[in-house]
């Protein structure tokens, strides 16, 4: 690196002679150390050692000062003492973070030595630098100033004076983000500069107002910027004046905001490589990297955190984190936007995150949206400009205009919450609750940070259920319905109610049948239909609506079956058929149980003639002969037929009733006809049929034929359809009843009610974050929706969805980032797509950053969408 010293004065910039003796080169220390024995004498083997240290910015230490507001690289060179210089005999220089400053003559001699070591030179030939050697030299201008009393030099490298490409290279060379950086001055020029009479040390610690301009020549340090094919970048042999324009074609200005130029955020201009820095995966941290990249490319947040944000940190907020999250995020964002930055390892940020949010500690995969929600809230509290939050009582609307009430709610919110996050990311929606009993209406206006939109399924599912009448008026009948594949249980109830013409005073009780008994009741309207498998068998019982807690009776059936065991005919009791369900009155006895059961069997009776023919046949005789005397259930849940007493009463009277558990296991307590029955919420009764002669009176085939929910091959599967983002928004804004766990306390009824809720967008933020609810959780399972959402890229128009039209603000948005989730719930991977000016999009996949075509932005992996408001001319 060749350097000419010149004193930079207000009126003139005199320079020393620029012959070879006055030129200074910056070279790799290892390269120089190999040749210095032949170039220097023993007395000059030790150079003057300088260690690079941080400059300061905004009152605090910074490792490097360079951002879009101040495009200057600034650091200090502190002269080391002998103990530091002794490192020369150790491993100094191995890391590549050590350089030598030599004169032009020294550089030529060292170059000669390296050339001789490779190819002997003929005697008498004059040595000259080869073309390849000269191509590896490029200029760099530095400004030096004396830091008085500290015996140090202040160094400033301006992007304006060096051009974008050379400035980028300088940032790589002098980066202080990793190992320490040392420079050995073997030329002696810096020592002369420090001891110059004009810059003698003074008592104050202020830097000198005078600067020296150094024209350096950099040699042997371009490997880090070579192209992938091994060829040197074309810029390595161009003069710095050819690249003396800023990244957008304008002259660099340290006081201007690069992000406020239209060429980066949406015009056809190119933004260069600023911000195209990946994040290393520390172990299942792709979820964090995805959200961070989206936030790190949010325009106003970038402007804010590259500026003087430290003065707004709220150390007094008990809801905050003492500014640690804001500082960690700001430091990480500055590294991502440093010119020439390499992939960053976000270890400090992750450690802070784990400290304040232990759910994100360790190395398990997490949800990028959950991380985003915590981070936005944490940044808001750390940067909340309100130091003392006032107590504000929420007032009821009392018939006032919505505009007045909404503004009052918003001003109350701002009185307690005022930060860059509120300025950029928070909006307001209107929430309307209506009591189903007294029709009381409650209207509130609440802030939101993001919108979580459901995915209305356009893929339908065919399901078959058997509907059983509990009045004994009709036979069980199967119904086939079509419901959304990813719908809720309420969707099934609605479709089945329509199909079976359910009356107003009736309800459906859906149950799953397995091994002839009920194993579960499907009563939660919000449960996902994914909990129902295709091979399940479901029954829907039609019951009358009851206001009180009316008990149910569940009848399960058993009959005798004969089989040969070891050459001997034996009989045993086996369960069969669909359980029958009915409501009970308050007080009943055993005969009431029997009559109710016979009433439910009435639709199953065969015609009288067919029953008579069956009774006269040999089967009837065999049935009578095989009838046993008494019934005594054994411990296995089957009834022992060997203890059935002979009874000449009518066949109906031969039915035996036992109290049982839900699985039909008898409890050895027979229900006697004339004794009262103790009722419970659900009374499970096991009914033992007396013999095949009884079966001839009823068509048991109707009880035993229970179809599966879906039989493969019976219906053709429909192709997956897409759903538009607007449909998702409409589903979010649709009126719906609150769930049983979200009951609303009605001020009119003075009781908790399952009110209906309606949302409306009222005030939209500048940056709109939309979360697509792809992950569904229930008590029994987890599921990911692979629905393709067709979302606008250039023009998301929300004008028709906004409840309050503000003529001063535009309701159109432009997409600038997407957080994606690929794969399943357990083994997925997160990435980010980011807009980088014009038609340029980039795929941020942890440490890898690659261009991506606009056509690939939309996919079924899109999880969180980031929109910014379009600024109309």
**What does DSSP assign to residue 682?**
E
Active site residues: 286, 829
Tell me how crowded residue 77 is: count the other CB atoms within 10 A of its CB: 22
Kindly report which listed range (92-101, 103-112, 291-300, 741-750) carries the lowest average pLDDT score. Answer: 92-101
User: Which range, 208-217, 225-234, 543-552, has the best average confidence (pLDDT)?
Assistant: 543-552
Kindly report which listed range (355-364, 514-523, 638-647) carries the lowest average pLDDT score. Answer: 638-647
Q: What is the H or E stretch that residue 108 is in?
A: helix 104-118
Q: What's the farthest any 2 CA atoms get from each other in the chain?
A: 137
Is the pLDDT score of 238 beyond 70? no
CA 17 to chain CA centroid, Å, is 61
Question: How many helices (DSSP H) and strands (DSSP E) are in the chain?
Answer: 21, 40
Nearest to 3 by CA among 192, 12, 20: 20
Kindly report which listed range (48-62, 68-82, 207-221, 584-598) carries the lowest average pLDDT score. Answer: 48-62
Nearest to 357 by CA among 342, 379, 333: 379
Convert the pLDDT of each residue in 184-204 to its tens digit: 888 877 777 766 634 444 444
Is the pLDDT score of 385 beyond 70? yes
Is the pLDDT score of 230 beyond 50? no
Mean pLDDT of the chain: 76
How far is 7 from 212, CA to CA, in rounded Å? 5
Q: What is the 3-state secondary structure (H, E, C) of 235-251?
A: HHHCCHHHHCCCCCCCC
Q: How confident is the model at residue 216 (pLDDT cuts 50, 70, 90)?
A: confident
Strand intervals (E) in 220-327: none
Q: Can you tell me the mean pLDDT for 301-312?
A: 90
- The string over 321-333, giving b where at least 16 C-beta atoms fall within 10 Å of a residue's C-beta and e elsewhere, is bebbbbbbbbbbb
Q: How confident is the model at residue 495 (pLDDT cuts 50, 70, 90)?
A: very high
The confidence score (pLDDT) of residue 176 equals 60
How far is 327 from 353, CA to CA, in rounded Å? 12
At 88 the three-state DSSP class reads: helix
Tell me how crowded residue 66 is: count the other CB atoms within 10 A of its CB: 26
- Give yes or no for a contact between 821 and 261, defined as CB atoms under 8 angstroms apart: no
How far is 840 from 863, CA to CA, in rounded Å? 21
In a 10 Å sphere around its CB, with 0-12 CB exposed, 13-18 middle and 19+ buried, how is residue 360 labelled?
buried
Tell me how crowded residue 130 is: count the other CB atoms within 10 A of its CB: 11
Tokens of 378: 């944490």
Kindly report which listed range (135-139, 172-176, 434-438, 752-756) carries the lowest average pLDDT score. Answer: 172-176
Q: Which residue has the higher pLDDT, 92 or 728?
A: 728
Place of tokens 């911000």: 275
Q: Can you tell me the mean pLDDT for 359-381?
A: 90
Is the pLDDT score of 846 beyond 90? yes
Q: Can you tell me the mean pLDDT for 452-462?
A: 83
The confidence score (pLDDT) of residue 814 equals 94
The confidence score (pLDDT) of residue 38 equals 65
Q: Which residue has the higher pLDDT, 70 or 530?
A: 530
Is the pLDDT score of 653 beyond 80? no
Q: How confident is the model at residue 639 (pLDDT cuts 50, 70, 90)?
A: very low
Is the pLDDT score of 807 beyond 70? no
How far is 789 from 727, CA to CA, in rounded Å? 9
Q: How confident is the model at residue 92 (pLDDT cuts 50, 70, 90)?
A: very low
How far is 797 from 805, CA to CA, in rounded Å? 13
Q: How confident is the model at residue 10 (pLDDT cuts 50, 70, 90)?
A: very low
Q: Which residue has the higher pLDDT, 482 or 873?
A: 482
Is the pLDDT score of 566 beyond 70? yes
Convert the pLDDT of each residue in 809-830 to its tens digit: 788 999 999 999 998 876 789 9
The confidence score (pLDDT) of residue 345 equals 92
User: Which range, 362-371, 393-402, 443-452, 486-495, has the best average confidence (pLDDT)?
Assistant: 443-452
How far is 738 from 526, CA to CA, in rounded Å? 10
Q: Which residue has the higher pLDDT, 21 or 536?
A: 536
Place of tokens 């010149």: 6
Q: Can you tell me the mean pLDDT for 445-455?
A: 93
The confidence score (pLDDT) of residue 721 equals 63
Interaxial angle between packed helices 347-356 and 286-295, expressed in degrees from 0 to 180 and rounded to the nearest 10:
100
Sheet with 756-763, strands from edge to edge, namely 441-448, 427-434, 756-763, 736-737
Is the pLDDT score of 796 beyond 90? yes
Q: Can you tell me the mean pLDDT for 286-303?
A: 93
Convert the pLDDT of each residue in 698-741 to its tens digit: 888 888 888 888 876 544 555 556 889 999 999 999 988 887 77
Is the pLDDT score of 673 beyond 90? no
Q: What is the DSSP string of 641-662?
A: GGGPPP--S-GGGG-EEEEE-T
How far is 2 from 138, CA to CA, in rounded Å? 9
How far is 312 from 421, CA to CA, in rounded Å? 12
Beta bridge mates, 679:
none
How far is 684 from 556, CA to CA, in rounded Å? 8
Q: Over pLDDT 70: what percentage of the chain?
A: 72
How far is 59 from 327, CA to CA, in rounded Å? 14
Convert the pLDDT of each residue in 614-635 to its tens digit: 444 443 333 333 333 333 434 3
Pairing of strands 682-688, 552-565: parallel
């Amino acid at each position: 690196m060749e350097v000419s010293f010149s004193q930079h004065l207000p009126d003139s910039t005199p320079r020393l002679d620029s012959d070879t003796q006055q030129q200074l080169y910056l070279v790799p220390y290892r390269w120089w150390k190999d040749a210095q024995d032949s170039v220097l004498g023993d007395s000059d083997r030790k150079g003057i050692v300088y260690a690079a240290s941080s400059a300061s910015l905004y009152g605090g230490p910074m490792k490097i000062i360079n951002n879009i507001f101040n495009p200057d690289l600034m650091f200090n060179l502190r002269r080391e003492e002998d103990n530091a210089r002794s490192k020369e005999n150790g491993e100094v220089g191995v890391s590549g973070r050590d350089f030598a400053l030599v004169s032009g003559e020294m550089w030529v001699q060292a170059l000669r030595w390296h050339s001789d070591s490779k190819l002997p030179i003929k005697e008498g030939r004059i040595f000259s630098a080869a073309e390849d050697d000269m191509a590896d030299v490029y200029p760099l201008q530095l400004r030096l100033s004396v830091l008085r009393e500290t015996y140090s030099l202040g160094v400033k490298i301006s992007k304006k004076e060096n051009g974008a490409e050379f400035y980028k290279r300088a940032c790589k060379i002098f980066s202080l983000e990793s190992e320490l950086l040392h420079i050995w001055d073997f030329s002696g020029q810096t020592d002369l500069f420090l001891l110059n009479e004009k810059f003698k040390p003074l008592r104050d610690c202020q830097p000198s107002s005078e600067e020296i301009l150094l024209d350096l020549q950099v040699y042997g340090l371009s490997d880090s910027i070579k192209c992938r094919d091994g060829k040197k970048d074309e810029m390595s042999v161009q003069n710095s004046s050819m690249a003396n324009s800023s990244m957008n074609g304008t002259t660099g200005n340290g006081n201007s905001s690069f992000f406020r130029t239209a060429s980066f955020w949406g015009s056809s201009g190119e933004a260069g490589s600023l911000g195209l820095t990946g994040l290393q995966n520390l172990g299942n941290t792709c979820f964090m990297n995805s959200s961070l990249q989206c936030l790190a490319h949010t325009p106003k947040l970038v402007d804010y955190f590259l500026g003087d944000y430290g003065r707004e940190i709220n150390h007094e907020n008990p809801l905050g984190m003492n500014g640690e999250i804001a500082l960690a995020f700001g430091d990480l964002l500055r590294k991502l936007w440093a010119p020439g930055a390499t992939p960053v390892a976000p270890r400090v940020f992750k450690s802070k995150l784990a400290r304040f949010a232990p759910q994100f500690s360790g190395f398990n995969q997490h949800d990028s949206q959950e991380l985003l929600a915590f981070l936005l809230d944490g940044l808001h509290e750390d940067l909340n400009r309100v130091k003392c939050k006032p107590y504000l009582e929420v007032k009821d609307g009392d018939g006032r205009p919505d505009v007045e009430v909404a503004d009052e709610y918003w001003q109350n919110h701002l009185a307690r919450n005022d930060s860059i996050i509120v300025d950029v990311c928070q909006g307001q929606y209107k929430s309307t609750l209506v009591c189903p009993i007294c029709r009381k209406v409650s209207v509130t206006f609440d802030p939101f940070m993001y919108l979580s939109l459901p995915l209305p399924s356009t893929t339908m599912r065919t399901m078959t259920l058997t509907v059983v009448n509990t009045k004994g008026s009709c036979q069980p009948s199967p119904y086939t319905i079509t419901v959304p594949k990813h719908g809720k249980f309420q969707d099934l109830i609605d479709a089945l109610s329509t199909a079976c013409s359910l009356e107003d005073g009736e309800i459906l009780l859906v149950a799953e049948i397995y091994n002839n008994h009920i194993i579960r009741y499907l009563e939660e309207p919000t449960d996902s239909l994914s909990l129902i498998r295709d091979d399940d068998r479901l029954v829907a019982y039609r019951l009358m609506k009851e206001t009180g807690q009316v008990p149910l009776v569940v009848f399960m059936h058993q009959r005798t079956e004969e089989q040969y065991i070891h050459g001997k005919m034996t009989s045993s009791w086996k369960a069969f058929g669909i359980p029958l369900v009915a409501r009970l009155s308050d007080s009943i006895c055993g005969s009431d149980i029997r009559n109710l059961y016979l009433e439910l069997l009435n639709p199953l009776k065969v015609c009288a003639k067919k029953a008579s023919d069956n009774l006269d046949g040999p089967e009837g005789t065999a049935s009578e002969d095989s009838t046993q005397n008494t019934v005594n259930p054994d411990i296995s849940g089957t009834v022992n037929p060997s203890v059935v007493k002979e009874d000449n009463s009518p066949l109906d009277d031969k039915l035996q009733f036992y109290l049982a558990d839900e699985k039909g296991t008898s409890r050895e307590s027979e229900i006697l006809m004339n004794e009262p029955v103790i009722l419970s919420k659900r009374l499970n009764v096991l009914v033992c049929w007396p013999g095949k002669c009884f079966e001839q009176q009823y068509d048991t085939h109707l009880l035993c034929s229970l179809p599966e929910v879906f039989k493969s091959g019976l219906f053709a599967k429909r192709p997956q359809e897409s759903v538009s983002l607007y449909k998702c928004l409409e589903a979010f804004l649709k009126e719906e009843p609150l769930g049983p766990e979200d009951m609303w306390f009605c001020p009119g009824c003075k009781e908790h009610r399952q009110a209906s809720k309606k949302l409306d967008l009222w005030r939209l933020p500048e940056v709109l974050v939309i979360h697509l609810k792809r992950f569904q959780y229930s008590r029994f399972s987890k599921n990911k929706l692979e629905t393709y959402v067709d979302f606008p890229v250039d023009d998301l128009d929300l004008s028709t969805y906004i409840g309050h039209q503000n003529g001063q603000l535009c309701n159109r948005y432009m997409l600038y980032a997407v957080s994606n989730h690929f794969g399943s719930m357990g083994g997925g991977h997160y990435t980010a797509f980011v807009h980088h000016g014009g038609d340029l999009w980039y795929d941020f996949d942890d440490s890898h950053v690659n261009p991506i075509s606009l056509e690939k932005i939309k996919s079924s992996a899109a999880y969180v969408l980031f929109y910014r408001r379009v600024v109309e001319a």
